[in-house]
Structure 1
């Protein structure tokens, strides 16, 4: 087990299996099937992300460096939360971008029944250590334990 400390963007305590992307995640391309075609498991549709393509993202601890792509990124995350197709949490090794941050914060504030904790600035060592399937636990104050 190893602990990492980041900055809390949206709070919450959670335990979920890790799903890791070493490259940036294009939220629109990744969640498009979930939002448009009713894929409740949010299978990643981004062919350019070989780490995630074809894998189910709903209910997983999505570990990534950053999000990339279109200006719809925040809205896509908000909609995934509103449709209950979001990752269990999002864990960024780098500081979160403003679009993903806006989507996560709006979902946290506006959606009563949905939680998607987000921690950023976990550092490069976090992505070097974590592997798909490892158990992730978010504790108080931005502490992330990887088992």
Structure 2
């Protein structure tokens, strides 16, 4: 391995650790987004069930007190759905930022890997040239001189 490539090894290791941590953070953010989506779906399903109760009870006739309680609870439920929608939007932003951070770390890591590979290739070519020069010199010494 070339000396330049060897000197970059700790930098590559650090970049790898940073990329893995960014990937872990992205995974956590995606899980939280999924949980927020599930919670919103649950709230919306509950709201639909509650509205269905209104239809069923409304056909039978309801008291004014029941209607007021229903409207109050439905209002609270609507507020919860609205708040969860805002939470979901915020969580999407968190995922987008985490994805951007991961992509940045990944690109840096890949750039460093390519640089190390280029250094190794350069070292290999130099070594090949050195060996060829030695072989040429050796072959020159073995040739009988014409004089």
TM range (shorter): under 0.3
Higher helix share: 2
Higher strand share: 1
Q: Give TM-score scaled by structure 2 length.
A: 0.17
Q: Give TM-score scaled by structure 1 length.
A: 0.17
Higher Cα radius of gyration: 2
Larger RCO, structures 1/2 (Cα 8 Å, 6+ apart):
2
